Amino acid sequence: MGKRDDFLSGRRIRAVKPKTFSNLLDVIESFDFSGAYNAGRLAEACRVYERMVKDDATIALTLAGAFTPTGLGSYIIHAIERGLVDLIISTGANLYHDMHFALDLPLYQGTSNVDDEKLLKHGIVRIYDIFLPDETLFETDKAVQRFVEELSLKVKSPISTSEFHYLLGRWLLDNAPRPEESILATAAKYNVPVYTPSPGDSSIGMNVSKAKLLGKGIVVDPDLDVLETAATVYCSEKNGVIVLGGGSPKNFYFQTQPMLDQILGIGGGGHDYVIQLTVDVPQYGGLSGATLQEAVSWGKIRPREDVSKVTVYMDITVSAPLLFSYMFSKNYSRVHKNIYLKRVDFIKRLKADYSKR
């Protein structure tokens, strides 16, 4: 391959349309019957997800790793639509790449066996075996910059990342050609708050910084995120989480329990249900591979004898679609909790109860 068009000749990556599969239920049942290795753990994860829904737990989803560029974000979108995800904590990069689909900007199937200097020469960036032409990035940047410029005229006080992403999602609903293919837009539509622990660590954050350099910026305050997420957990009868990949989003959700117990001294006790999908292992000390049992020692997960926490050691581009498809095939759905609309009241309740100590 020598010409730019040669590199971009792969099939364009489109948003996958989740389906229901009756035979998938048979596959998961066979995994359950075996009970061995990660087939057994995936079956357990499906059961834990079912328990979260049946117990009406507030279900969080944390997202790390380059998941959205694959087009598989549609599984998360469908879960939001069904009320199976109540709040999201994601890396900023996943949200930036999510915007490509809303804006109908192309990503292509490529290869990892490539001369990256040639890609640089031709204005193509690579995420393993996915190719993105520079134009996709530039047009997404323009959209973020336009949004931030408009937002800076309306918002003068610091805002949480959930408010920033909600308003960005609403902007996509009004201005993007394909908002139904965006996690951000769908989350805004159903009042699912979306948080980013490190808002500056992404192209969205870089574009926000550019606006600030030009005197058109806004202030995004992560401290508000800490309070909102802790208050949401505090005001929920039961809490569960699906951890995709680990990383900072994993800890940002887990730390809500030490925030309540260790810092504020009110409540805590640990999360009730945890599903962790990862390929990382614990012996190197990284958070993505840290075991759920270790989290019990921190008070992040409630110690229980029944199966309420499970780790599946599997690529999230395989395990997450299987997990969500199982729930779709079982036709699970719930009334939306509209957490975004309640977050301020949750903080007021948390503050009032803390003041009574």
Instruction: Give the residue numbers annotated as catalytic, written as ranges.
Output: 300
71: left (phi over 0), alpha (psi -120 to 50) or beta: left
Measured CA to CA, the distance from residue 273 to residue 58 in angstroms comes to: 10
Tokens of 212: 């600030």
Task: Note whether 100 and 70 are within 8 A (CB).
Answer: no
Number of Cα atoms under 13 Å in the Cβ half of residue 285: 0
Closest-CA residue to 251 (of 223, 221, 229, 220): 229
Number of Cβ atoms within 10 Å of the Cβ of 238: 16
Residue 188 DSSP label: H
Task: Note whether 62 and 244 are within 8 A (CB).
Answer: yes
DSSP line for 90-138: E-HHHHHHHHHHHTT---EE--SSS-HHHHHHTTEEEETTEEEEHHHHH
Tokens of 241: 């989480």
Task: Note whether 339 and 191 are within 8 A (CB).
Answer: yes
Rounded to the nearest 10°, the torsion over CA 127, 133, 137, 142 is: -170
